[in-house]
Amino acid sequence: MMIRTYPFHSPTVFHDFPFLSIGKHNPHIDITACAKGFEEQYATAESHINTVLKNRDQHSFLIMSGTFIDHLRTKNPKQITAIKKALDTGHISLLGTPYHHSIASLFSTDLFIKQVGLHLKIVKDVFDYTPTIFYNTNSIYSDRLARVYKKLGFKVALVPSSEWHLGGRTTTQPFYAKDNNIQLLIHDDQGQCVEGSDSVEDFHKAAASESYLVPYPIYHNEHLLSKITNGNKLVESLKLKILSLEKAASEIQNSSLFTELSSFTALEHFEKIADVNDLSSYDYYINMMNILSDFELRYKL
């Protein structure tokens, strides 16, 4: 059975935040720009979602970030209702994923867990649905993350196909994670999963006979993620700042701070900063650091 994945995300846009704005209680997130960005992408997204909902002959996976769902429930309540009906009939699955399309799983397990918890909540609130299959941003996966997925209640995870880790084995067989705690569904960078069961239900019941061992993170779009993980000094500086604020927030046990802080871990922010060919990447980094400094002062961290 061929399963197609359809990812949808609405990026968070921050205000321009010069140094002199620090400490003046100006808003960080540009709500107007976020809404405009969603509107610009929704015409295409709406068409793709409607196509998926109408195609009952093929099971599809919808992957919607929390920010996308939040905009969608305001923009088109009728489509929310249609998705709920399709979930009830079982010809689509809505996957768990980080709320902000975050890469926190690469450097902060706590922020990653917070992200997933926020996503599970909005999916339950909006669709009355609890995902059992998980998709991490850009399919980031490792043995360590499989244990986190299990802890969060997921039974299956979508993971990248890697010839090295497959070792000549086929992607159509079910695999299990290193500790035999969840099943793994291999999918390619074109968003297609190929597996040997006749239905998703059969896949859940299938007994995996071999493990897919991944000691270090693998992911799709290696060109992009490698720019973020290869020691870029601006990226590393941003990570360290986020981690220091995370530690301070945990010490005062203020969970609401984690919610806002997690928005800074979205892939799009790191992508812009890591683009060495973009002359504005340093300006974007400074803007992010100014906002984080204001965040630190605002909450007395």
Per residue in 236-263, pLDDT tens?
Answer: 999 999 999 999 888 777 777 888 899 9
Contact yes or no for 130/84 (Cβ under 8 A) = no
Determine the average pLDDT of the residues in 113-132.
96
Instruction: Using CA atoms of 230, 235, 238, 240 in order, give the dihedral in degrees to the nearest 10.
Output: 20
Q: Which pLDDT does position 173 carry in this prediction? A: 75
Determine the average pLDDT of the residues in 49-60.
90
Same domain, 288 and 263: yes
Last residue in a domain, options 196, 220, 244: 220
Same domain, 215 and 236: no
| CA distances in angstroms from 189 to 176, 222, 284, listed in the order given | 20, 10, 28
Neighbours of 280 (CB within 10 A): 11
Same domain, 70 and 101: yes
Same domain, 129 and 276: no
Same domain, 139 and 161: yes
Same domain, 120 and 147: yes
In which domain, by residue range, is 13 found?
2-220
Same domain, 255 and 214: no
Same domain, 60 and 106: yes
- Quote the DSSP letter at residue 19: G
Residue 113 has pLDDT above 60, yes or no: yes
Q: What is the pTM (predicted TM-score) of this model?
A: 0.92
Residue 194 has pLDDT above 60, yes or no: no
Same domain, 85 and 208: yes
Three-state DSSP class for 18? Answer: coil
β pairing state of 192-194 and 2-8: antiparallel
Same domain, 124 and 203: yes
Last residue in a domain, options 173, 205, 220: 220
Last residue in a domain, options 194, 220, 246: 220
Residue 198 has pLDDT above 80, yes or no: no
Q: What is the total count of domains within the chain?
A: 2
DSSP one-letter string for 114-169: HHHHHHHHHHHHHH-----EE--GGG-B-HHHHHHHHHTT-SEEEEE--HHHHTT-
CATH number at residue 158: 3.20.110.20
**Cβ neighbours for 268, distance < 8 A, ≥ 6 positions apart:** 11, 12, 101
Same domain, 8 and 115: yes
Same domain, 276 and 168: no
Contact yes or no for 30/17 (Cβ under 8 A) = no
Q: 């590393």: which residue's tokens? A: 236
Three-state DSSP class for 266? Answer: strand
Tell me the per-residue pLDDT of 33-50, one tens digit each, with 9 for 90 and over. 999 999 999 989 999 999
- Spell out where 33-144 has E strands: 60-64, 92-94, 133-134
